A and B are shown apart, each in its own frame.
Chain A
Amino acid sequence: MEFKTILFYLFSTITVIAALRVITARNPVHAVLFLVLAFFNVAGLWMLLQAEFLSLALVMVYVGAVMVLFLFVVMMLDINIERVRAGFWSNLPLGIVVGGLLASEMAVVLSGKYFGLANLPPQNLPANYSNTKELARVLFTDYAYPFEVASVILLVSIIVAVMLTMRRRKDNKAMHSSDQIAVKAKDRMRIVKMAPEVELPASGGDKA
């Protein structure tokens, strides 16, 4: 058995177990961490398929950024695990239907009979083949416009999300650094000029 085969079975076993634990773990924080583990092992599987760019991007984007924010949110929540599990048996039939559909669709894609995957010529790639470069070439030449449109849509959704959630409160006491830096001494302090000694005015009627 090749070493790669051992790695494949290692990664895929951990992925499946971790994915199962995501939905069976009682503590939501544990579930999120199992999801991170599943992502990590999927990245390992993609690396075995020689898709190093996708694999590292998965670790960087999902594990490094998305899941951190996810974990952040879940850590803040006080989830009552009994209430989440309350409707388990009544929702089970629907869940089985959806899960069965997903599994059968994946089987259709992965068996490859209907997409001609079996007839693809075997790939003999040169040693210096870089799929990062190939991916970039396709994205920025053949699919430049769709790629740009997709990024603009993402940008719009970011701005919309910020605008929808931002509210200006009247009692907000947040300080603005630029205002603080722009402060001059005379805004805060008044210097009064006065003579060091003041002679008492001579009062009438009092003779020494």
Chain B
Amino acid sequence: METMVVSFLQSALGSAWPTVKPLWPLVWTLAQIVLIMAPLLLSVAYLTFWERKVIGWMQVRIGPNRVGPWGLLQPIADGLKLFFKEVLFPAAADKKLFVLGPVMAIAPALAAWAVIPFAPGWVLANIDAGVLYLLAVSSVGVYGIIIAGWASNSKYPMFGAMRASAQMISYEISMGLGLICVLMVSNTLNLSEIVMAQSKGRFASYGFDFLSWNWLPLLPMFGVYLISGVAETNRAPFDVVEGESEIVAGHMVEYSGMAFAMFFLAEYANMILIAAMTSIFFLGGWLSPIGFIPDGFHWLAAKMAAILFFFLWIRATFPRYRYDQLMRLGWKVFVPLTLVWILVVGIWMMSPLSIWK
């Protein structure tokens, strides 16, 4: 792809090409970033629409259906409204940090997409330490909430920030430990290679590829990862950070207009990111479930859509966790479970019964 564009530019620009050439890597990378970001932000917008529709149907309502055909222009109308609203600054707020909060929330949610492979070769940065990069970048996301909560100089945002910092660090541990099992069986930190490692196995040789993916041998880790992912994105039933019946909206109380919308963009971008990561680590990424069907990006998209539907579904059905139960689940259930399963997988891999040779 890049060589095609370069040769076209060389012929089009002629003698001007050598002067443009030093800037080419920058231009090319920016073009790729736009190519990832534009569809991502569009899917964020329509994920909010889909959420309102799905939850509406589950609660025997219709959901948004006024703006455009079947209500399809609703997210655009919401976005426009938020764009034109004034961003209010509380008098006692720390102005600089008040602005920095939403930026720190959304930047890691977008930066993490750099290493996500969408199909063979479709990745912005195919780096060897991809999993480490994902863990490092997603651990920075909590700053947005803490800074916003503190800078607002108000009580409920402060409570939200306190809850967020405790909750997100706790569930990051179980997510990271769950991923260690994936790393052990795939023997690499590169995300593309983790996907390809799932295409081999006894069931895959019979044509039932979906039984060779990591979700089956690492089933407890798949569950832990998925549930921790919900907690990590502060979604219901783990949304104590912004629980509207307890602390109004947590760190978002003092925000309005686009600054408020940034937190929502970050939350939904994180949801899509967790869905993509779960699909890549446990559900075989872009691989097709049955051997003779060709692989492709549409499989990854389908798996992500299924996981996102799961997120919406549990939001509509479960009541919110109590805070102490949430901490208990993270520290007393998930962390011991993952630690034991690392041991189990280690022994399994060294035993003659190993399926990862």
Residues of A within 8 A of B (CB): 27, 29-30, 33, 36, 52-53, 56-57, 59-60, 63-65, 68-69, 71-72, 75, 130, 132, 174-175, 177
CB of A72, distance to nearest CB on chain B (Å): 5
Q: Interface code B162-200, partner A: CB below 8 Å = 1, 0 otherwise? A: 100110010010000000000000000100000000000
- For B129, give the chain A residue with the smallest CB separation: A52
Q: Once the chains bind, are B165 and A60 in contact (CB under 8 Å)?
A: no
List the B side residues contacting A53 at CB < 8 Å: 129, 132
List the A side residues contacting B135 at CB < 8 Å: 56, 60, 64
Q: Once the chains bind, are B136 and A69 in contact (CB under 8 Å)?
A: no
- For A27, give the chain B residue with the smallest CB separation: B94
* Set B136, B142, B143, B324: member contacting A60, Cβ < 8 A: B136
CB of A96, distance to nearest CB on chain B (Å): 32
List the A side residues contacting B81 at CB < 8 Å: none
Q: Once the chains bind, are A36 and B324 in contact (CB under 8 Å)?
A: no
Q: Which 10 A-B pairs have the closest CB atoms?
A: A64-B139, A59-B136, A56-B132, A60-B136, A56-B136, A52-B129, A72-B165, A130-B128, A75-B150, A68-B165
Tell whether B133 is near chain A: CB-to-CB under 8 Å: yes
With A69-B169, A132-B132 as contacts: A175 and B324 at CB distance below 8 Å: yes
Q: Interface code B130-142, partner A: CB below 8 Å = 1, 0 otherwise? A: 0011011101101
Residues of B within 8 A of A (CB): 94, 97, 127-129, 132-133, 135-137, 139-140, 142-143, 146-147, 150, 158, 161-162, 165-166, 169, 172, 189, 324-325, 328
- For B168, give the chain A residue with the smallest CB separation: A68
List the A side residues contacting B324 at CB < 8 Å: 174-175, 177
Q: Once the chains bind, are A56 and B146 in contact (CB under 8 Å)?
A: no
List the B side residues contacting A68 at CB < 8 Å: 142-143, 146, 165, 169
**Interface secondary structure of B, over-half rule:** helix
**Interface secondary structure of A, over-half rule:** helix
List the A side residues contacting B150 at CB < 8 Å: 29, 75
List the A side residues contacting B147 at CB < 8 Å: 33
List the B side residues contacting A132 at CB < 8 Å: 128-129, 132, 189
CB of B56, distance to nearest CB on chain A (Å): 33
Q: Once the chains bind, are B128 and A63 in contact (CB under 8 Å)?
A: no
Within the assembled complex, what's the spacing in Å between the Cα atoms of A71 and B189? 30
List the A side residues contacting B133 at CB < 8 Å: 56
Q: Once the chains bind, are A59 and B140 in contact (CB under 8 Å)?
A: yes
8 A-B residue pairs with Cβ-Cβ distance under 8 Å, sorted by A, are A56-B132, A56-B133, A56-B135, A60-B135, A64-B135, A68-B143, A71-B146, A71-B165
Q: Once the chains bind, are A75 and B129 in contact (CB under 8 Å)?
A: no
CB of A155, distance to nearest CB on chain B (Å): 12
Extra contacts besides A29-B97, A30-B97, A132-B132 (6): CB < 8 Å: A56-B135, A60-B139, A65-B139, A71-B143, A72-B162, A177-B328
